[in-house]
Amino acid sequence: MPADQPLDLLQGTLDVLVLKTLSWGPAHGYSIARWIRTVTNDALHVEEGSLYPALHRLEKRGLLQAAWGLSENNRRARFYQITARGREELRREAHSWSAFAAAVAKVLGGTERPEWA
Amino acid sequence: MRNHLWHRYLRFWRSDPAADLDDELAFHFQACVDDAVAAGMTVEQARADAARRLGDLRRVRATCLAIDAQYARSRSMAEALHGVTSDLRVALRQLRANPALTVAAVLCLTLGIGANTAIFSVVDAVLLRPLPFPNAERLVLVGEGLPMVSEKNFGTISTPDFLDYAALDGSVFASSAIFQNRSADLTGDAAPERVAGIEASSSLLRVLGVSPALGRAFQPGDDAEGSADVVMLTDALWRRRFGADPAIVGRTIHLDGAPATVIGVMPRDFVFPLPGLDVEPAGFLVPLRMTSAVLQTRGNSYNTLMIARLAAGVSRERAAAAVNTIAARLPALHPDAYSTHARVVATAVPLRERLVSDVRRTLLILMGAVGCVLLVACINVSGLLLARAAARSREIAVRTALGATRGRLVQQFLAESALLVALGTVGGLLVAHWGAHALATLAPAGSLTGYRVGLDPRVFVLALAISTIAAVGFSLVPALQHGSAELPARLREEGRSASAGRRRQRARRLLVVSEIALALMLATGSGLLVRSFVKALRVDPGFTPEHVLVFQAVLPRVRYPDAAGVLRAEQSLVERLGEIPGVRAAGAAVQAPMLGSWRIAVTPEGMQLDKVPLVVNDMVLPGYFKAMGIRLLEGRTFDARDTSSTQPVAIVDEQFAQRYFPGTSAVGRRLKWGSATSPAPWITIVGVVRAVKAKSLDEQSTPETYFPALGSAANPELVDAMLRGMTYVVRTTGDPLALTTSVRNVVRTMDPELPLTHVQSGEMLVSQSMTNRRFTTLLFGAFAVLALVLAATGIYGLIAYSVTQRQREIGVRMAIGATEARVVRLILREGAWTAALGTALGVMGAVALTRVMRSLLFGVGALDLVTFASAPALLIAVALFSSWLPARRAARVDPSASMR
């Protein structure tokens, strides 16, 4: 079920999503995109083209490895796999995301009134 | 792992990253379309939907390609680095696994590279690097010659002739200058000391393009007659004698007792004159003045060096022609100095050519010799690596089977040899650093003064070039040995079969043959030099050097103003020296044997000669011949009666007597200075003495005349020019050097301000005249020994390896009854064949080499039979011994053990 209004992605968020997705196992770009769409109910508006610069950048940083393989319907596809360093990065990023989200949630969900109000 | 393979794939097939990216994006697009179609969309709808979802593909593509390109760059660098480090790691392991081989190879390279770099540093400093003056290639030396007297150009000019050549300044020459040796006693401030210096025209520094570090240079007025006495100091003298006093300029110092004002100090790197000009490097410079006395020397003495800087655009040839034109006019211009039919020629020679004329050939020959040593060392290392490659045969075969290409193997071998060569180069540079210093100190006195011998970037680059070539060469040899065609054979080969690696052994034998040939060439060259040296040592110097002490002293004009006084003082010093207990005779001469010579033109009476003879001349005080041990053959020697007031007399040596008065006695005959028409008086010959060597044992001696020093009392110019400095000779019964203190005391009693210089024994006199020859012989000999040792280890390694390989065969032979001696003979035969082949080639090489060396030889022919017989014999003996060691071991082996 698509959300009413797709959210724009914050800078760097896509990287974490990719890493998280790949933490389940190697995948090609299309299945990564599909998975993100499914899990988020298409709430995040990911322009699928922009996935590729992210993948290539992560590969360059050594967080991913890429290799050609055969897709489920026997097409030549480029598979990405998360590296040990990638998992490390994911852990770090996930942690700071949670901290960020918790902080934002605290403010938004707050019932206390500020002193000047 | 998959990633790694992917990299290989990318590298090998040079895949196009853009095509890959397009494939990747196309796959995504197609997958989108497929899914959408499966979900029920039409193909057109699906495509539009996919395009929308993918967004701006052009931008995506550009971004990805930029990222990929960056990645590829860093990845290939990292990969190359990784490849190199892993190769090096493997290489290090290999080298550590064979410590003996590693040490041997590194040692070979260290010696080879070190010796080469050291010699090259000297060659570079002397022959290649620019002389230490700006635009030194524009500097020429002008020299005059008198074709009537000698076909050789003197290389110097008669001082007053400079005034004529100076007319060329501004046209042919930018500027020109003259200079000559002028030593002086430095007194005051500290103990009196004799210091070498030069007199130079005020233009010298301008010609050289050098300016003083402190104070000012000479100005045109400084060499005018009657101007104040000024002096410039070199940095070395300023530091040593004056403690680098910054206020030295303006101070007065005393040269030969006369005050002179210091006007400047030369920069630190200023060394002049450079070796090769027969003038000691100067400690000070004083202006050369054209006094009336100097002007009178025109056409009589040729002792002044003239240096000039060519004007822009003027060639050396044009300058030579210009000076020669002036020289031809000299007799007509100066009829008072030159007889009317005299001929004067002049030429201009580049400074460098003149400086290195004596040493160039020696240096190049040494460079060639040391190059041979390096070649032998490299061959040796190749042989070692080849032997090891044999031992690694299986490993290499396995690697090839696993897919290592030949290029990959070469890369691995390259890593190993690069490591070896790197170690060798480091060692070599250490050896060279030390060796260059040793060479500079061991080289014949002063021959390298002023040259900066050492490891400069050029020398370093040469060492590096040698090493690189060596490394590549070493890695190619074993790699090429492993043609992949014979791979299966080698995998099967167990090192047990007797025919194993026969090809490899043949390659090694070729290497050893060339080693022996090279070593033999060097041994032959060295043998010839040693024989020359021994022959030269055996030459009779014409005097008796044992029990003789010689020293020099110069009486300065300040304390000894008049000519007669100088001669009186010298005569009385000789007499006092003779009174020292234990002294058998004392005397003095202007120029003792081995200390150089000056020549004069003389005409013997009654001889029709087409040339005026140029003979060595000496002026001596009574007692000289006895003290020096120069035997009188006929007539009498000089005594105190031979003065200026008596009839002029002379003594000639046997060569003079034989050449100019053949068949008769020379005593009572006459000769005179100059040509037959010269106004000089006739001089009667009163005695004939043995010929002495004037400069060195290996020279071709020239006829010589002696005049009594006391006969010159009436000629103050001659006394000033020649007789103030004498070499005193004292003959004793015991150790001459033990006499030094008493001699010093005697001199001090006479004149406490008079420094003694060049104190040495007669034997030292002889031996120092041989320093050049000794140096060359020693160096060449060292290289020959080095090559010999390397060749010996080479042949040892070859035979030892072959013995290991033939272990089984030997076992079989012994089991069926071969005696130990038979086995040894069998192995020796292999060594003998190798040695014989190498020797045959080496003799041919030696014939070519020694031809080039001819000018270095003395008393032996370039094809001297003794050397050409003994050097090959030595080589064969060494080779046989080197093969006998492993042969003996082979024969001692228990047959049952070796066959198992």
Q: Using the beta-carbon criterion (under 8 Å), do B57 and A33 form an inter-chain contact?
A: no
Tell me: pLDDT of B483 over 70: no
Query: Which band of pLDDT confidence, cut at 50, 70 and 90, is reported for residue B894?
Result: confident
Give the mean model confidence (pLDDT) for residues B549-564: 88
Find the range with the poorest average confidence among A81-85, B1-5, B110-114. Answer: B1-5
Percent of chain A with pLDDT over 70: 89
CA B601, distance to chain mean position in Å, is 35
B400-414, B420-434, B792-806: segment of lowest average pLDDT? B400-414
Q: How far is B410 from chain A (nearest CA, A)?
A: 30
Q: What percent of chain B is modeled with pLDDT above 70?
A: 94
**B426 assigned to some structural domain:** yes
Pair (B140, B236) in one structural domain:
yes
What SS3 string covers B828-855? HHHHHHHHHHHHHHHHHHHHHHHHHHHH
Judge contact between B562 and B598, C-beta under 8 A.
no
**B836 and B870 part of one domain:** yes
Lowest pLDDT segment from B72-81, B554-563, B707-716:
B72-81
Which chain B residues are within 8 Å of A30, Cβ to Cβ? 27-28, 31-32
B102 in a structural domain? no
B422 with B502, same domain? yes
When mean pLDDT is compared over A39-53, B84-98, B522-536, the highest value belongs to B522-536
Note whether B202 and B253 are same-domain residues.
yes
pLDDT in tens, A24-58: 999 999 999 888 888 888 777 677 888 898 899 89
Is residue A26 within 8 A of residue A81, CB to CB? The reply is yes
Is B410 in the same domain as B318?
A: no
Classify residue B793: in a domain, yes or no. Answer: yes
Do B19 and B152 lie in one domain? The reply is no
What residues of A are in contact with residue B17 (Cβ under 8 Å)? none
Q: What is the mean pLDDT of chain B?
A: 85
- C-alpha B756/C-alpha B857 separation (Å) is 36
Is domain A13-108 classified as CATH 3.40.50.720? no
Residue B706 sits at the vertex; the CA angle it makes with B654 and B661, to the nearest 5 degrees, is 35
Nearest to B369 by CA among B846, B881, B40: B846
Domain count, chain B: 4
Residue B645: predicted pLDDT: 83
**Residue in the block written with tokens 């071969």:** B818
SS3 state at B472: helix
Whether residue B362 is predicted with pLDDT greater than 90 in this model: the reply is no
Q: What's the token pair of residue B237?
A: 């003298």
The answer to whether residue B699 is domain-embedded is yes
> Which residues of A, range 1-60, sit inside 8 Å of B by Cβ?
28-30, 33-34, 47-50, 52-53, 56-57, 59-60
Residues B96-123 as b or e (16 or more Cβ within 10 Å = b): eeeeebbebbbbbbbbbbbbbbbbbbbb
**pLDDT at residue B583 greater than cutoff 90:** yes
Distance (Å, whole) CA B370 – CA B530 = 17
Q: What is the mean pLDDT of residues B351-368?
A: 85
B174 shares its domain with B255: yes
Q: pLDDT band for position A83 (50/70/90)?
A: very high
Q: Output the CA–CA distances (angstroms, integers) from residue A58 to A84, A90, B675, B881, in the order listed.
A: 13, 11, 101, 69
* Cβ distance of A30 and B31 shorter than 8 Å: yes
Annotated domain spans of chain A: 13-108
Does the structure's ipTM exceed the value 0.90? no
Q: What count of other Cβ atoms lies within 10 Å of the Cβ of residue B39?
A: 9
Domain that holds residue B644: 548-733
Nearest residue of chain B to residue A81 (CA atoms): B3
Report chain B's C-alpha Rg in angstroms: 39
User: What's the confidence (pLDDT) of residue B209?
Assistant: 93
Q: Is B71 on the interface with A (CB under 8 A)?
A: yes
Q: Supply the pLDDT for residue B415.
A: 84
DSSP A66: E
Among A29, A68, A76, beta carbon nearest to B28: A29
**With left for phi above 0 and alpha for psi between -120 and 50, is residue A47 left, alpha or beta?**
beta
CA distance A110 to chain B (A): 38
Q: How confident is the model at residue B628 (pLDDT cuts 50, 70, 90)?
A: very high
**A60–B27 CB contact, under 8 Å:** no
Determine, for residues B60 and A50 on separate chains, whether the beta-carbon distance falls below 8 Å: yes
Q: Are residues B395 and B487 in the same domain?
A: yes
Give A2 to chain B, closest Cα distance, Å.
Answer: 14
Q: Is the pLDDT of residue B27 over 50?
A: yes
Residue of A nearest to B62 (CA): A53
Q: Specify the DSSP class assigned to residue B482.
A: -
The pLDDT score that the predictor gives to residue B1 is 40
Note whether residue B756 is domain-resident.
no
Of B145-159, B408-422, B685-699, which range is least confident?
B408-422
Helix axes B820-852 and B771-805, enclosed angle (nearest 10): 150
Verify that B568 and B489 share a domain, yes or no: no
* Burial category of B742 from C-beta neighbours within 10 Å (exposed 0-12, middle 13-18, buried 19 and up): middle
Q: Are A57 and A76 in contact (CB under 8 A)?
A: no
Does residue B99 sit within a domain? no
pLDDT of residue B489: 52
Q: Name the domain boundary from B59, B90, B121.
A: B90
Both B710 and B777 in one domain: the answer is: no
Q: 291-330 in B: which are within 8 Å (CB) of A? A: none
Please state, as a whole number, how many other Cβ atoms lie within 10 Å of the Cβ of residue B851.
10
Amino acid making up residue B676: A
For A49, which of B20, B56, B71 is closest by C-beta distance? Answer: B56
In a domain, B342, yes or no: yes
d(CA B65, CA B503) in angstroms, rounded, equals 53
As a whole number of angstroms, the longest Cα–Cα distance in chain B is 144
Pick from A66, A67, A77: which is nearest to B27 by CB? A77
pLDDT at B497: 44
Candidates A30, A65, A66; nearest CB to B28: A30
Q: How confident is the model at residue B501 (pLDDT cuts 50, 70, 90)?
A: low
Average pLDDT, stretch B293-312? Answer: 87
Mutation choice for B interface testing from A37, A42, A56 by most B CBs within 10 A = A56
Of B3, B55, B71, the CB nearest to A47: B55
CA distances to A115, B49, B85, B165, B343 from B145, in Å: 115, 104, 68, 14, 9
> How close, in Å, is residue A86 to chain B by CA atoms?
15
Q: Are residues B350 and B369 in the same domain?
A: no
pLDDT-derived band at B498, boundaries 50, 70, 90: very low
Where residue B493 falls among pLDDT bands split at 50, 70, 90?
very low
Q: How many CB pairs under 8 A join A and B?
A: 74
Q: Which of B10, B16, B67, B74 to mutate to test the interface with A (most CBs of A within 10 A)?
A: B67
The answer to whether residue B120 sits within a structural domain is: no
Chain segment B173-231, per-residue pLDDT in tens: 999 999 998 888 887 777 778 899 999 999 999 999 999 999 999 998 888 887 889 99
Distance in Å from the first CA to the final CA of chain A? 40
Looking at residue B699, its pLDDT comes to 81
Residues B528 and B602 occupy one common structural domain: no
> In this complex, do B27 and A71 lie within 8 Å of one another by their Cβ atoms?
yes
Of the listed ranges B33-47, B103-117, B408-422, B780-794, the one predicted with least confidence:
B408-422
pLDDT in tens, B257-296: 889 999 999 999 898 888 878 888 899 999 998 888 788 8
Residue range B835-852, pLDDT digits in tens: 999 999 999 999 988 888
pLDDT digit string, tens, across residues B310-345: 999 999 999 999 999 999 999 888 888 777 677 899
